[in-house]
Amino acid sequence: MRPSGRDLNQMREVTIETGILTHADGSCLICVGDTRVICSASLGERVPMFRRNTGLGWITCEYAMLPGSTHSRNRRERTVGHPSGRSQEIQRLVGRSLRSCVEFASMGERQIIIDCDVINADGSTRCAAVTGGWVALRIAMDRLMEGRKIASDPLVNQVAAVSCGAYAGQTLLDLDYAEDSEAETDANFVMNDDGNWIEVQCTAEGMPFTSARLTEFLSLAEFGITQLFALQRSAVGRLLPVA
């Protein structure tokens, strides 16, 4: 039915391996099928200018793709001198999503930078970055608490993301690159563990969509994100909540 042979509501296999970097304060390799993203969290003692002397922390994100990660080699952004519009959109999305889970007063005037570097790209890299980014952040926060630098846990929510799309009149969950390019839609959903939405982004350059379709997307996205929450908790050694 769908190009990948998966069921309409079937995600690809997802694995999350933590501790893959020796220097970062938190790190993981998240694999969503052939999409592979290294997420790392680095603690900096200085916050951005607009946060100075507020007592509040900050989370920022940077996203990039390795040159060899894409079908045709992807030119390094350092040559251009700034992140592409696409990279900026994605890292702003990931940053907002992670910040929505944080109580900044508990964090102290510190910044954590989340780096999401795509090693291999097969669609939905921004969703993998949100999901893996949370894991790296969770580990870094745990380390801060272990080191008794902060007293209460600033990371009060869990957040994860999936993509959806429409293809041949049907609604699909978690599009890989081949599906994404045929479907010509780009719908991404970020939800927290209270079951509320953090981001809903549906873009239809090729195919305008109805409100009914959007409702289907929401339902499918919730189904997928719930599975990701369990995988994240397992990766960071948290019990699953009692259903």
Binding footprint of its own copies on the chain (CB under 8 A): 20-24, 27, 34, 38, 40, 42, 44, 62, 64, 66-73, 76-83, 85, 88-89, 91-92, 96, 99-100, 113, 115, 117, 119-122, 192, 194, 196-205, 208-211, 214-215, 218
Closest contact distance (angstroms) between CB of 148 and its own copies is 22
SS3 155: strand
Which is closer to its own copies, CB of 146 or CB of 194? 194
Distance in angstroms between the alpha carbons of the first and the last residue of the chain: 32
Q: Please name the residue that has the structure tokens 């996203």.
A: 63
Contacts of 24 (CB under 8 A, 6+ apart): 40, 41, 42, 136
Which is closer to its own copies, CB of 68 or CB of 241? 68
Type of residue numbered 178: A
Closest contact distance (angstroms) between CB of 176 and its own copies is 11
Cα 242 from chain centroid?
Answer: 25
Closest contact distance (angstroms) between CB of 217 and its own copies is 10
Which is closer to its own copies, CB of 27 or CB of 232? 27
Which is closer to its own copies, CB of 7 or CB of 34? 34
Closest contact distance (angstroms) between CB of 29 and its own copies is 9
Contacts of 62 (CB under 8 A, 6+ apart): 83, 91, 113, 114, 115, 116
